[in-house]
Amino acid sequence: MAISRKRCEKVQEKVSLNPSNNAESGKGKSKMLKNITHGYHLVKGKTNHPMEDYVSVEFKQVNGSALGLFTIFNRHLSHKLVIANVGYSRAVISKNGLAKQLSVDHEPTSERESIENRGGLVSNFPGDVASVDGQLAVVRAFGDKSLKKHLTSEPIVSIETIDYDTDLIILASDGLWNVMSNQEAVDAIKGVKDARSAAKNLTEEAVKRNSKDDISIIVVKL
């Protein structure tokens, strides 16, 4: 099976958790230091989607991400992880080896009423996934100009507590989730210490399972 592109990155840094604020300095003090690593692996899918291809090109130029899902770690929020997502991507956290989905899949059937109120149509033909106006399989998205009036770009935001039971976080596009369940993904990499290797392993497993869509994965080991 031909793979058009692979990209791996690894970033390693020490961050402070359990901060104790100092009223005089205004700075936090750490009671616990942990090594947090993040690995990223991307495989271009077989489907010919102009917007995804465009993002891939821009990725090389600006060192951005083709994911529509982002997480921000802010030490002033202590143990809080804030997740905001729009589009196909999903965030899954593992605590003591058990997978928990943090984000919401923005499927058209889940927000049919809001789409129709904006003048759109949710179609669901046999053998195909539900889509907005027969074109897009998500109800929240950026960049689809022709469908803009029928969609919303407002993300769904959630907050998760990060504690000592937290093992890892997986951020991935539907190229992974179309062929693997949340728990399967966690089980597949729970014994892999390196985040970059974990992301690569998941990518290769999705390809083996004949995933047809773009596969973009970030693994954060905690």
Domain boundaries, the chain: 15-105+154-175
Residue 186 CA, distance from chain mean position: 14
Which tokens sit at 155?
A: 């993300």
Would you say 222 and 168 are in contact if contact means Cβ atoms under 8 Å apart? Answer: yes
pLDDT at residue 101, as a whole number: 92
- With CA atoms as reference, report the closest residue to 190 among 221, 218, 155: 221
**Position 70 confidence tier, pLDDT thresholds 50, 70, 90:** low
CA dihedral for 163, 166, 168, 170, sign (positive or negative): negative
Cα distance from N-terminal residue to C-terminal residue, the chain: 33
Lowest mean pLDDT across 38-52, 70-84, 92-106: 38-52
What percentage of the chain exceeds 90 in pLDDT? 24
pLDDT at residue 86, as a whole number: 75
Lowest mean pLDDT across 81-95, 104-118, 123-137, 152-166: 123-137
In whole angstroms, give the CA distance from residue 74 to residue 23.
19
Would you say 167 and 138 are in contact if contact means Cβ atoms under 8 Å apart? Answer: no
Which tokens sit at 100?
A: 């928990």
pLDDT at residue 119, as a whole number: 59
pLDDT at residue 82, as a whole number: 83
The average confidence (pLDDT) of the chain is 66
pLDDT at residue 60, as a whole number: 38
